[in-house]
Amino acid sequence: QVQLMESGGGLVQAGGSLRLSCTPSGSIFSINAMRWYRQAPGKQRELVAVITSGDSTNYADSVKGRFTISRDNYKGTVYLQMNTLKPEDTAVYYCNVGASTRSGYALDYWGKGTLVTVSS
Mean pLDDT by 10 residues, the chain (120 residues): 92 98 86 95 96 94 98 89 98 95 89 97
- Residue 46 has a CB neighbour count (10 Å cut-off) of 12
The DSSP H or E segment spanning 91 is strand 91-100
Residue 64 DSSP class: T
- The candidate with the shortest Cα–Cα distance to 23, out of 101, 109, 100, is 109
Please report the pLDDT score of residue 48 as a whole number: 98
Residue 75's pLDDT is 82
pLDDT at 53: 87
Predicted confidence at residue 28, as pLDDT, reads 76
The rounded Cα 40 to chain-centroid distance in angstroms is: 14
> What pLDDT does residue 27 have?
76
